[in-house]
Structure 1
Amino acid sequence: MHSSLSSTEEGGLARRKAQHLEICLDQERFGVETSSTRLDEVRLIHRALPEVDASRVDTGMSFLGIPCRLPIFISSMTGGSRQAYQMNKDLATLASELGIPVGMGSIRILLRKPQVIDDFRLKRFAPSVPVFANIGGVQLPRTSHDSLYRLLETLQADGIAIHLNPGQELFQPEGDRDFRGVLEAISRFIERSPVPVMVKETGFGIAPREVNQLFAAGASYVDLAGAGGTNWVRVESFRSDDPLDQPVAGEFDTWGIPTGLALAALGRNRRGILASGGIRTGLEVVTSLALGAEAAGMALPFVRELSRGGIPRALALGEELARVIRNALVLTGCTGVAELRRVPLLMGEALLRDAASLRADSLEKDRPDPPE
């Protein structure tokens, strides 16, 4: 089955994406970061005798089978509008300069409007780093998988992220409301995908039970994308003319599983876990890696720096992050990012308790339906 957009829907999509970008960039008018990652409840132990040569510390990682300079990726942000297309090209150029992976906006529009495909050819701007495409999970049951596979090959994508965003869809006037069949469609898509597949949330987190389901379906990576960063319920409420939407959205300001809690609940020995959602600093990247993530994703910080001062300013942010990560590795006695999984951690009692509770939920067997 093919997904299609009418010309009216195409225009609406472009307006919506432009509004998303405007709202996320205007911090004074729109408060879209409404929660906490809880990463501040974790501390790494300082080593006064690290026994490490700082010049030999390696901040690199492998992502989608491609070597990268830093354990950071630029999360898929947005697409569908002229400003967003230019932003994605700048992000790809930035990723190439920094030696890190980058995601593109949703390729859904290409199914209806293939003439804009050049706006998604990001590999030409970042030939040496991983570039991954992006599609909504809720669209997969109603979209031709073969068409998506062809797009991935045309775009020379190294992977694809399937994003899960039921919270955002519910608060989007034109959003989807039927979330049935998404996991089954993800599994079918992965079976024949020409590239590795990662599955991500968009800011409300993924519980351990669902992480297990996604890996069982064949996902190569699961990006927890927890609460603490951009709250897309809030973003959509700022777009709405309905006077009820903002107060209703406000009820969800602390909704979701914080990024730090989602990581703590999974433990430090799971492979394929990615962390994003509210990660803003180098030490938050390091903390996420120490909690078990293979890499940490950021989008809004880079987008904001691009809007303020172009690629040079965003590049300066990346180099600042690199320096913090390198110094933190030295001060914990590590010579590489994978070693962070083994460093001792000091974790707050509340975080430990909540992580145990969340972990227990994933271990429960499916309970039978109550008798009628």
Structure 2
Amino acid sequence: MDRSQRKMDHIQHALATNEQQTNSFDEIRFVPNSLPNIYYGNLNLDVNLASFRLASPILINAMTGGAAATTTINQKLAIIAREKGLAMAVGSQMAALRDPSVRDSYSVVRKENPHGILFANIGAEATVEQALAAVEMLEADGLQIHLNVMQELLMPEGDRDFTGYLERIQRIRDQVPVPVLVKEVGFGMAKETIGKLIDIGIPMIDIGGRGGTNFAKVENMRRSTPLPMFDDWGLTTVESLLEARDWMEHGSSFIATGGIRHGLDVAKALALGADAVGIAGGFLRIVQTQSIEDALHTVDEWHHQLRVAMTALGIKRLKDFLHVPMILSGRSYDYAQQRQIDVSSLANRD
């Protein structure tokens, strides 16, 4: 099967595997503030992500490209990013690096959003030369390097050799002229992995946890002999953020992707230490099922929901979420206990 058909299969199956109605964010509650002493209209949604200053903590995360039919999807996403001031990443550009005929399915985002913050995207198997070409293709402001070991293992035509990944990432980080972001695609990150990335100076890390688009299920839908026992592989987004807690004072910025359904989930991720959140499946659905006008309204609603949470908690700036007390329960709490992650302080923050 060629890469273009694979890209279309991924979109079809991603849409078919509906977003979970519940996920790990439901195991978090904020301690309410009945005297917030604040005005909704005075809130600030600006955020610092490494060297970038963003107007919103919401990023349109990597989704697609590499087929003629995906050009329209990326075009719509770029329009939303432009109109709402959102940073945006494209899907893996390896397809265009191997087949220049699909280059426009990626470069369209820069045409539609000439002044926005855009991230190029390659896999950890890429060379420095491929990384530079991906950045040039978009005139990108940053570069995502995605990690998707389980997806590759389940993909019928996927990679089987993952040796040298960390060394390749370091070479790319040292030689590309833009900041590098390393992201998981939905299987989460443990503190051991995060530590290795910080040790080589990666300025942005997307912990990409389980809870959103499930690429194990997507690839199993493409297999003649599925391996469904791996459908729930990995860590949830909440578990991954807990794993990152010990590394959040080491200079890297963290993005939480995986199962962000609405503005309250954004608030919970920020309160767990994320600097920003990524949404992929949610954006794919709205551009495939809504007009541009309705999609823009949906983004406004997400921002409104975030502002409601901020007002109810009495905070004016996103970084103040780190001082809001929150209660962790259920499987996420049990996980933290077994991994010896101290979460007691979360409930008693001032």
Q: Please confirm whether the aligned pair reaches a TM-score higher than 0.5, indicating the same fold.
A: yes
- Give the CA deviation at 1:33: 5.1
Question: Under a length normalisation based on structure 1, what TM-score does the superposition of the two structures give?
Answer: 0.85
Give 3-state SS (helix, strand or coil) of 2:35's partner. coil
- For residues 1-32 of structure 1, the C-alpha deviation after alignment (integer angstroms, 9 at most, x for no partner) is xxxxxxxxxx6100010111111223xxxx36
* Percent of matched pairs sharing the same residue: 35
2:297 is the counterpart of 1:292: no
Separation of aligned partners in 1, 2:114 and 2:53:
12
Alignment: residue pair count = 337
* 1:306 maps to amino acid: V
Corresponding residue number in structure 2 for 1:104: 90
Measured after TM superposition, the shift of residue 62 of structure 1 is 3.0
Give the AA of the match of 2:15: L
Q: Deviations along 1:121-172, whole A, 9 cap, x unmatched?
A: 22232233311011111x22xx3x1242144134210101111111111111
- 1:73 alignment partner, SS class: strand
- Give the one of 231, 234, 238 matched to 1:253: 231
Alignment of 1:125-204 (within 5 A): 125-137=112-124, 139-140=125-126, 143=127, 145-204=128-187
Q: How far has the Cα of 1:64 moved from its partner?
A: 5.4
Report deviation, 1:53: 2.2
- Whole-Å Cα distance in 2 between the matches of residues 217 and 35 of structure 1? 37
C-alpha contact (below 8 Å) 1:36/1:229 kept by paired residues: no
- The aligned counterpart of 1:20 is 10
Aligned to 2:47: 61
- Is 1:212 the counterpart of 2:195? The answer is yes
The 5 A counterparts of 1:340-359 are 340-348=321-329, 350-358=331-339
What is the DSSP-based 3-state SS (H/G/I as helix, E as strand, rest coil) of the residue aligned with 2:233? coil
Q: Does 1:94 align with 2:75?
A: no
Letter in 2 for 1:16: R
CA distance in structure 1 between the aligned counterparts of 2:70 and 2:340, rounded to whole angstroms: 38
Choose from 65, 69, 76 the match for 1:83.
69
Aligned to 1:42: 28
| 1:267 matched to 2:245 | yes
Deviation at 1:267, TM superposition (A): 2.3
Using the TM superposition, give the Cα deviation of residue 330 of structure 1 relative to its aligned residue in structure 2, in angstroms.
1.0
Deviation track 1:308-358 (CA, whole Å, cap 9, x = no partner) reads 123222212101100011111111111011110111111126423412433
Give yes or no for contact 1:32–1:234 (8 Å, CA) kept in 2: no
RMSD, aligned CA? 2.0
Distance 1:16 1:154 in 2: 21
| Runs of 5+ unmatched residues, structure 1 | 1-10, 361-372
Conserved? CA contact 1:73–1:102, under 8 Å: yes
* One-letter amino acid of the structure 1 residue matched with residue 288 of structure 2: S
Q: Structure 1 pair 22/350, CA: closer, same or farther in 2 (3 Å)? A: closer
1:227 matched residue in structure 2: 210
Q: Contact 2:60–2:81 at 8 Å: present in 1 too? A: yes
- 319 and 167 in structure 1: CA distance in 2 versus 1, 3 angstrom threshold: same
SS in 2 for 1:82: coil
TM-score (norm 2): 0.90
Unaligned runs of 5+ in 2: 342-350
Contact kept? 2:28, 2:328, Cα under 8 Å: yes
Distance 1:154 1:253 in 2: 34
1:219 deviation in Å? 1.2
Cα 1:100–1:192 change in 2 (3 A) is same
Once residues 24 and 296 of structure 1 are traced to their aligned partners in structure 2, the CA distance between those partners, rounded to angstroms, is 19
CA distance in 2 between partners of 1:358 and 1:75 (Å): 29
Aligned with 1:267: secondary structure? helix
SS in structure 1 of the partner of residue 302 of structure 2: helix
Q: Which one-letter code corresponds to 2:218 in the other structure?
A: V
Do 2:66 and 2:103's aligned partners in 1 also have CA atoms closer than 8 Å?
Answer: no
Cα deviations by residue, 1:235-262 (Å, 9 ceiling, x for unpaired): 111122x2x31xx22x123221010111
